[in-house]
Structure 1
Amino acid sequence: MAPYDDWNKVEEDDEEELQDMLLLETKKDVILFCIDCSPSMLEPREDPDDEDMPMKCHLSVALDAAMQIQKKKMISGPNDSTGILLFNTALKPQATNEQPAGLKDGMYLYQSISPLDVSKVREIQSLLDAATEDLDELKKVLPPMVGKTVAMGDVFTTCNWVFRDGAPKTASKRVFLITDRDDPQLVKGRQLITSARTNLRDMMNAGITIEPFFISTEEKPFDMSKFYNAVLQPNTFAENEDDDNERDPSVLPEAISISRIEELLAQMRIHEVPKRAQFSIPFQIAPGLTIGVKGFGLVTQHNKGAYKYFHDLGDRMEVANAKTVYVDEDRQAEVKRSNVLYGMAVGGAGEDDENPTSSTRAVKAGQRPFYTAEELRSLRTLGMEPSIKLLGFKDQSSLAFEDNTKHSVFIYPDDFTYSGSKRTFAALLKSMVKKEKVGLVLALTRRNSSPTFFALLPQQEKLDESGWMEEPGGFHLVPLPFADDIRAAKYEEGFTASQELEDAALAWISKLSLKGSGYQPDSYPNPALAYHNGQLEASAFQEEFDKDDFENLTDPNVKNIHKRAGELMRKWKEALENDESASVVAVAAAGSKRKADTSVDEEEIRSRYNSGQLAKLRVDQLKEFLKNKKQSTAGKKADLMDRVSEWFDKN
C-alpha cells in the first residue's frame, strides 16, 4: 500500500478553497504614518553621540523612518500599502481632489494610502537630501502652524476617513503616531480629552489600531501624564469599560517612549510586523454556550519570498500567471477539477468508474477504491467543522513539559462574531487560574487540517509597574502528542559540578544577562534574510549594494563582553580546568563489527563461470557457494575456483 501522505491530499490549487476565508481577511497590511509638524519637530538638533553628523530635526528623522519602512515593505510585503498624514502644518492642498473630504485646517495628506511604489520613496528621499544641505528646506516645504494646534480628536477622525477612502476592507490597518509634544492642546479642557478618547475608540472599533512613538529629549522629557495617559487607556479584559472607570498610570510603556531620535527606526521595525490572526473560529464551552476566539501564532519563520516567472514582452516585463489544468491522457482534453478522483496505489489499476459523481461506488475485487475531494475532506476532518470544543478540566500538574512537542497557539476573545465573548472568556480564564486547572479541548483550526487534542493552558494578564499590559490574558493551545510521539531517552548519570564551579559560572553569567525587557527577537533580524533583502532593495531602487556596509546584528559584541565579564570568565575557566572531572575522558563503547554479506545468487556465479570471470568473486563468496553445495572449502582461491568449475561441469 502506498504511504498515507501519497494519496490522502488534495492538489495545491485546492488548498485555497479548503482554508477558512477568515485567514485571508488580513492578508494585506496598511500603515498610515501620522506625523506631527509642530515647530518643536522642525527644530534642528545635534547628535550628542556624534558631533560630525549633520544637524537633523525630529520631522526629518520621522520621514526617514517612514521611508525605510516603505523600502523594507517593498521586499517583505509588496502587496501592502502605506500613507503619510501630516498635522499641525500650514501647508495648503493645491488640488482638492487629492485630499479626503472634510479635511480639517492644519492637516495635509502628504501621501494617500496606495500600494508601495518606488516613486513615493524617491519623493521623500529627494526632500530629505535637500533638507540635509539646507536646514530650512523642511520649513519651506512643510511649514508649521503658529499660534494654534489641531485637536487630537480631529486627527483620529481624519485617520479614520483616510482609511475608509483608501484602505481595503479586509486589510489590517494601523496608525503610527509620531510626535514630541506631550501636551498637544493649547486650550485646556476635559471636553477635548473626552473627544479625543471617543474618536480614538471609534477608530479602533473600525478595526484600526494605533502605535504611538513619543520622542523625548534631555532638554524636554516627554510627560505622558499631561494628556496621553487619559486618552490612550490600557486595553484590558475589564467587564465594564466605562469612560469614568479610568486607570491612573504615571507613564506609558517604555517601548513607545523614545529618548533618542535614532531609536525611532529601531522601534518602528519592531512594530512594523502586523499581528495577524491565524484563525477565527467558535469556542464551544458547553452545549448552548459558544463564544468567538482568534488564534495567533507566537513563533513563526520568515523565509525568502517565492520566486515568480516573468514574460519578456520586449519593452516591458510582466508577471506570468501560473494555472493548473487537469488533462485526460487518453482524450487529451481538459477535465474539470470536480471530476478528479483520488486513490491508493494498491495492485494493478482497474477500469475507470463509470459514474464518478455517485455518492457510493462498489469496488470490485482487484480494483482500487477512489475518493472525491469532498470525501477526502470528510475523512481528514471526521466531519467536524472548524471550532474548539471544551471536553473537561485537569490539574496543571498533569501537563508535563515534554507534552509541548509543537508550537502552541495563543487564543484571544473575539466580540465581533459572538457578542459577550470577552466577558465569558475572562470569567473562564479567571476561574481556571484560581483553581490551577488546564482544559482539554478538541479543535479543528483549519478546514484542511485534522482534529487535534489540545491542552488549554491559561495565562493571566500581567501588568507592568505603570499599570499597562505587559502580557495579555488568554489561553495557550498546546497540541498534545500521541503516545508514540515521545520516546524514552536512555538516562546516564553524568558529572555534577561543584558549588564553587556553579558560583564562578553564575558570576559572569549575571554580568552578561540582559536587564529590563530581556531579549527582543525582533531587534535581531535573520542575517541571511536581511542580506538577501538588502540586495533586492538595492536592485529595486537601482542602487549599488555594498556588502561591506551590511551589519549583522546577531554578531556578539566580543569587546564589550570581555570588558564586562572577561576577568570572571578567566577565573571560571581556571576553576574548571582544576576540577577533578576535567581529567576524566569518556570512552565510547566499542561497536560490534558488522559481518560482511557473502550471499551470492547461483545464477550470478554460473554467469561468471560461463564468461570466465570466476576470479572476480571473493574467497568468502566462493566458500559460501561450495558450502551450500556440500563441497570442500579448504585451500586457496585457485583451488576453490577449480571446485566451482568442476561442479558446474557436472551440473
Structure 2
Amino acid sequence: MGDFIRFGYDITDDGDDFGGDNLDEVRAAAKWETVSRNATVFIIDVTDKSIFHSFQDPDAEDSKTSLIEIALTCVSNFIKSKIICSDRDLIACQLIGTAQSQSSETDFKHVHTLLPLELPGAKSVIAVEKVKSNFDASKLGFGHEASFADAFWVTQNMFSRVTSTLSTKQVFLFTMNEDPQSSNQHARKATQQKILDLANNSIEVEVLGLAPPDGFFDMTVFWESALPQLRDKTASIADPTVKIKELLYRVTTKEYTSRALSSLKMDLFGKQFGVKVFSFVNIASKPAGVKLDKDTNKEVFSRTETVSSETGEVLMPDEVRFAQTFGGENIFLGKTERDSMKYLAPSGLTVMGFRSTKQLDFTNFLRPSHFIYPDESAVKGSLVLFQALLNSCLSQDVFAVCQIVTKQGSYPRLAALCPQKEILQPDTGIQIKPPGFHVIYIPFAEDVRDVSLKVNERRECANEEQVEAAQAVVNKLRFNFDPENFRNPQLSRFYAYIEAIALEKEAVEEPEDTINPSPQTIDSRLGQVGLEFVRCFGLQPGSGGGQGAKTTGAKRKVHSNLSRFYAYIEAIALEKEAVEEPEDTINPSPQTIDSRLGQVGLEFVRCFGLQPGSGGGQGAKTTGAKRKADTSTAGSSNASKKASVNVNPIEMRQAAVEKKLGKYTVAVLKEACELYQLPTEGRKQNLIDNLQHFFKAN
C-alpha cells in the first residue's frame, strides 16, 4: 500500500459474473438480506389510575394528552413503521390492570391481550387507535391490582407458540409503577424470577418508565435489581420521558440492536471470535407492485425458462454452458467450474495488519459501510477479545486492514475496521453511538482511477470582498444537520395515501416536506448579509429566490387554454349554471405596455413608419377588449351595412404560420384579403387558403 488508502468507485457490487446471468439476480445474491424475523410484545400497565390524567402535550402546545395516549401512540407508530420496513416481524400488545381478562391463558386475571402475537396490519393499527381515542368506550376497565409475573407468563406462552425461527424477542413494559407489589414479597419474587426465566430463553425485557412532566420515575427502587442487563451493568438507565418521538426512538433503538445482517467469524492472527454485521443506512424505496389475477385476486408469479434456439425445447440447468470470450475465442465453463473459480476464501473477516487512522482518506466512496459488534453466542469469549481489540485501536489511533468475505462463494473485499467509542447522552443516558468497528470498504489497485482535471484556461477568481460576503452567507445559514429531521417527501406522501386507504380514513394527512427550504426563513436569517452578497456580485435583489424574492408562493401562470378547458369540465361535472371564465394570466395587457413604453413607443412607431395602434403597440385598443363595430353605408344597390374590422397583420401572420386562421370570422378574413389585395369571393375556406398561400410566399 501507499502512504494513503483511497476509496474508488465500483458500481457492480459483486455483480461481476460469467455468462448471461440476470444482473438483478446477481446483485440480489450479493446483498445481505436477513431472512429471520423479530418478535416484539408491548405491555401497558393501567393499574395506576393517574395514567389517564391529562396534562399539556409537550409535542403540541395547544392540546392535552395523557400517559396512556402516549404509550398507545408509541405502539401505533411502531406498528406502522413495521408494516413499511419489516412486514415479516411479529407484534403483540397486552394491558394489565384491566377489569376484563381476555388472553389465551384464562387463569390470569386482569390481563387483557389487545393484539395477539402475529403479523401487523391495518386491523392492528385500527384496534390500537380505537382504544386510544376512547378508552372508556372499550369497557376494558382499569385500576385493578394485577401480577406482572402473570403478564410475563402470558408473554412467554406467546413466544413459545411461534413455530418459525425468531432472531430477537423483545418485551417493552410501559408502567408508572416503580415499586410493584411492594406489600407482597411473594409476588415481587415471582416477577423477578419470571424476568430471569425470560432472559434464559433469550427474551429481553425493557422497562420504559412513564412519569408526567413534573414527576420522576426511579428505576433503582425495584426494576434495576429485577432486570438482568441493569443488574449486570451491561445497559444504562434512561430517564422517563413523555415525548412520543423520543419514546419511539428508544423502542426502535432497542428493537433494532440485535437485528444483524449476518454473523461471521473474525480471525485475529489465528484467534477466532464471532461478530455480527449491521447496516446503519439502507436506501428506502417504494415497494414493488404485486401482480394479481383479475378474476381471483390471487398473486401471480413469473417463471423464466431457457429455450434452445434450434429446436425450441426447454433446456435443463445441466444442459446449459456459460462462456467467457478471451482472445476472440469462447472459453466454456460449467457450473462446477464457475463455482470453484468464485470460491477464493471462506466467509469471515481476516485481519491483515494495522495502519494509522490519519492514512484513511474519506474523499472517495466505494460502497456503504457496515458495522460489527461481538457475537458471544457464536464463540464464547468473543466480547472480551473484541473489547480488547477495540480499546487497543482507540488508544493507539489505528484501524485494522482486513479481508472480508460476506458469504460462501462471494468475492473477497478489502476493508478498513475503523474503531468507534461508545457515546451516551449526558442527561438521559441514552446511547448515541455504540462501541464497535465501522467496516469501510477500500479498493484494490485496479479499482482506483485518476480523475484529476487539467484545466489550461484562465479562470476568473473572486476578489477578497466577494469571498468575505460568501463566507458571511455560509456562516449565517449554518445549522446542525440531523438525517432524522429530513424525510423523503415522495415516500412520505406515498405511504400517507396507502395508510389512509388501509385505515379507512376520511382524508389524507398531507406530510410536511422537510427538504423544501423556506425563502422567508432564509431571508430572515440572512438579513443585511444577503443584501451585501447581492451587491458584491452585482445581482438583482430577488433573483434566484434569494433576498427579497417575492415569486415563491405567488400564483403560477397557467396555460389559458387548459384553464378554460377545465373550467368548462368543472361546470358540467358540478352542474353549475354558468362557467366562471378563468383569468388569462399570460395575455399581455396593451394598456400596461403603453403606459410603460410612453414616448419610447411613439418614437419606435415613427422610426419604422408604422401606424399608431397597429400590431398591439402604442395606442392599440383591440386586444382583450370587445371590438367596436364601425358601420358605414356601402355603395351597393341594397344599401346594406358592412362592419369594418381592424386587422392586426402580425397576429394574422402568426395565425397563418400556426394554421389557426379558422378562428377568425368571415368578415375579418375578407378584410385581410382586401388589405393584401387578394380575392374575396368564395366560402370561408377559400379565404383561408388565399391567406395561407400569400403568407407562405411572402
1:283 aligned partner: 266
Q: Supply the distance in 2 between the matched residues of 1:248 and 1:275 (Cα, whole angstroms).
A: 14
Q: Supply the distance in 1 between the matched residues of 2:443 and 2:411 (Cα, whole angstroms).
A: 14
| SS of the residue 2:501 aligns to | helix
2:450 aligned partner: 487
Query: Offset at 1:308?
Result: 1.6
Whether contact under 8 Å (2:111, 2:146) holds in the other structure is no
What letter is aligned with 1:43? F
2:591 aligned partner: none
1:306 aligned partner: 288
Length-normalised TM-score, structure 2: 0.63
2:691 aligned partner: none
Structure 1 residue corresponding to 2:404, chosen from 437, 443, 466: 443
What letter is aligned with 1:485? V
| SS of the residue 1:181 aligns to | coil
**Cα-to-partner distance string for 1:131-179 (whole Å, 9 max, x where unaligned):** 1xxx6335xx222243x3424x654454333222237323443333323
1:24 aligned partner: 34
Query: Offset at 1:583?
Result: 6.4
Query: Offset at 1:437?
Result: 2.0
Which protein has the larger Cα radius of gyration, Structure 1 or Structure 2? 2
Structure 2 residue corresponding to 1:90, chosen from 74, 99, 109: 99
Whether contact under 8 Å (2:93, 2:114) holds in the other structure is yes
Please say if 1:462 is aligned against 2:423: yes
Query: Offset at 1:211?
Result: 5.5
Structure 2 residue corresponding to 1:293, chosen from 263, 269, 275: 275
Structure 2 residue ranges without an equivalent (≥5)? 1-11, 540-698
Query: Offset at 1:290?
Result: 0.9
Q: Supply the distance in 1 between the matched residues of 2:224 and 2:439 (Cα, whole angstroms).
A: 34
**Cα-to-partner distance string for 1:521-557 (whole Å, 9 max, x where unaligned):** 345332111211222223334445536x333344456
Structure 2 residue corresponding to 1:539, chosen from 501, 524, 529: 501
| Residue 455 to residue 202, structure 1, CA distance change in 2 (3 Å) | farther
Matches within 5 A, 1:53-132: 57-93=66-102, 99-100=104-105, 104-129=108-133, 131=134
Please say if 1:258 is aligned against 2:241: yes
Q: Supply the distance in 2 between the matched residues of 1:302 and 1:160 (Cα, whole angstroms).
A: 34
What letter is aligned with 2:293? H
Structure 2 residue corresponding to 1:168, chosen from 161, 164, 167: 164
Query: Offset at 1:450?
Result: 1.4
Whether contact under 8 Å (1:381, 1:449) holds in the other structure is yes
Q: Supply the distance in 2 between the matched residues of 1:51 and 1:482 (Cα, whole angstroms).
A: 56
Query: Offset at 1:442?
Result: 0.9
| Residue 248 to residue 317, structure 1, CA distance change in 2 (3 Å) | closer
Q: Supply the distance in 2 between the matched residues of 1:193 and 1:248 (Cα, whole angstroms).
A: 22
**Cα-to-partner distance string for 1:333-376 (whole Å, 9 max, x where unaligned):** 443324432213579xxxxxxxxxxxxxxxxxx86222233432
Q: Supply the distance in 1 between the matched residues of 2:283 and 2:180 (Cα, whole angstroms).
A: 41
| SS of the residue 2:527 aligns to | helix
Length-normalised TM-score, structure 1: 0.67
Q: Supply the distance in 1 between the matched residues of 2:351 and 2:472 (Cα, whole angstroms).
A: 49
What letter is aligned with 1:137? A
Matches within 5 A, 1:189-588: 199-200=194-195, 202-204=197-199, 206-210=201-205, 212-231=207-226, 243=231, 246=233, 252=238, 257-260=240-243, 276-287=259-270, 289-313=271-295, 316-344=296-324, 368-382=330-344, 384-402=345-363, 404-447=365-408, 449-465=410-426, 469-483=431-445, 484-490=447-453, 504=472, 508=476, 513-514=479-480, 519=482, 521-546=483-508, 549-556=510-517, 566=524, 569-576=526-533, 582=537
| Residue 424 to residue 163, structure 1, CA distance change in 2 (3 Å) | same
| Residue 502 to residue 230, structure 1, CA distance change in 2 (3 Å) | farther
| Residue 48 to residue 434, structure 1, CA distance change in 2 (3 Å) | closer
| Residue 215 to residue 105, structure 1, CA distance change in 2 (3 Å) | same
Q: Supply the distance in 2 between the matched residues of 1:210 and 1:486 (Cα, whole angstroms).
A: 51
Whether contact under 8 Å (1:149, 1:184) holds in the other structure is no
What letter is aligned with 2:71? A
Query: Offset at 1:440?
Result: 1.3
Structure 1 residue ranges without an equivalent (≥5)? 236-242, 348-365, 585-651
2:588 aligned partner: none
Q: Supply the distance in 1 between the matched residues of 2:476 and 2:408 (Cα, whole angstroms).
A: 51
Q: Supply the distance in 2 between the matched residues of 1:248 and 1:369 (Cα, whole angstroms).
A: 58
Whether contact under 8 Å (2:45, 2:95) holds in the other structure is yes
Percent of aligned positions with the same letter in both sequences? 22
| Residue 525 to residue 79, structure 1, CA distance change in 2 (3 Å) | same
| Residue 137 to residue 41, structure 1, CA distance change in 2 (3 Å) | farther
Q: Supply the distance in 2 between the matched residues of 1:46 and 1:122 (Cα, whole angstroms).
A: 25
Between the two proteins, the alignment pairs up a number of residues equal to 518
Query: Offset at 1:267?
Result: 6.4
Query: Offset at 1:423?
Result: 1.0
Matches within 5 A, 1:595-610: none
Q: Supply the distance in 1 between the matched residues of 2:266 and 2:415 (Cα, whole angstroms).
A: 13
| SS of the residue 1:534 aligns to | helix
Whether contact under 8 Å (1:391, 1:440) holds in the other structure is yes
Q: Supply the distance in 2 between the matched residues of 1:561 and 1:198 (Cα, whole angstroms).
A: 58
Whether contact under 8 Å (1:149, 1:186) holds in the other structure is no
Whether contact under 8 Å (2:47, 2:97) holds in the other structure is yes
Whether contact under 8 Å (1:441, 1:454) holds in the other structure is yes
Q: Supply the distance in 1 between the matched residues of 2:128 and 2:303 (Cα, whole angstroms).
A: 39
Q: Supply the distance in 1 between the matched residues of 2:71 and 2:160 (Cα, whole angstroms).
A: 24
Structure having greater relative contact order (Cα 8 Å, sep ≥ 6): 1
Q: Supply the distance in 2 between the matched residues of 1:226 and 1:550 (Cα, whole angstroms).
A: 42
What letter is aligned with 2:527? R
**Cα-to-partner distance string for 1:556-594 (whole Å, 9 max, x where unaligned):** 5676676xxx36x22433454566xx469xxxxxxxxxx
| Residue 145 to residue 304, structure 1, CA distance change in 2 (3 Å) | same
| Residue 233 to residue 487, structure 1, CA distance change in 2 (3 Å) | farther
Q: Supply the distance in 1 between the matched residues of 2:484 and 2:192 (Cα, whole angstroms).
A: 30
Query: Offset at 1:393?
Result: 1.6
